Amino acid sequence: VSLDERTSHCRIDPRVISGSLAEPADGLHYAHTLRDHAGAATPVVHRDISPQNLFVTVDGVCKLLDFGVSKMTSDPSRTKSGVIKGTPAYMAPEQIRGDELDGRADVFSLGVCAWEALAGERLFDRPSDYLTWQAITEEPVPSLASKWAGPAEVVAVVHRALARTPAERASAQMFADEL
């Protein structure tokens, strides 16, 4: 950790950020590929990944907390119509629209956390939920490279996680491996 003299902000080594976010991505891969005792797929999507739910232990291990709004994608019961669960500034576009979710929604949320940790500022935070959701679903994602002078490969991994279309995003395991 170092103090950036120009901004008076505390800067964390990007290797620490990448490693810290790769750990919950590995855990999410397990949840996203979960199977029951008979071998049937029972994937779980967290749906509320945000900095408040990422906890770094004194040993330096990053844990993902609060699976309280998680959902098994094989569960036929649905969230009540019109109810959106999660932290608005970290939701994937498909989550905001109320579309079916899979693990790539969690990858989007981790991508927002990574962008913010590396850039040192909030990505989609706006004065109202509506403006936040509009930013996530319609506005161009600001270039991380314009905020952070790190390796282009890391910038590409983060921007891939922030793709608006789930098919363009990596799985949680690929995101972890690429970080």
d(Cα 31, Cα 117) in Å, to the nearest integer? 24
Strand, coil or helix: 96: helix
45, β-bridge pairs: 71
Catalytic residues: 48
d(Cα 92, Cα 132) in Å, to the nearest integer? 11
Residue 128 DSSP one-character state: S
Comparing C-alpha atoms, which of 119, 100, 102, 103 is closest to residue 159?
119
Task: Confirm if 102 and 166 have CB atoms less than 8 A apart.
Answer: yes
d(Cα 153, Cα 72) in Å, to the nearest integer? 33
Q: Which amino acid is at 93?
A: P
CA separation (Å) from 66 to 3, 14, 48, 87?
31, 25, 8, 12
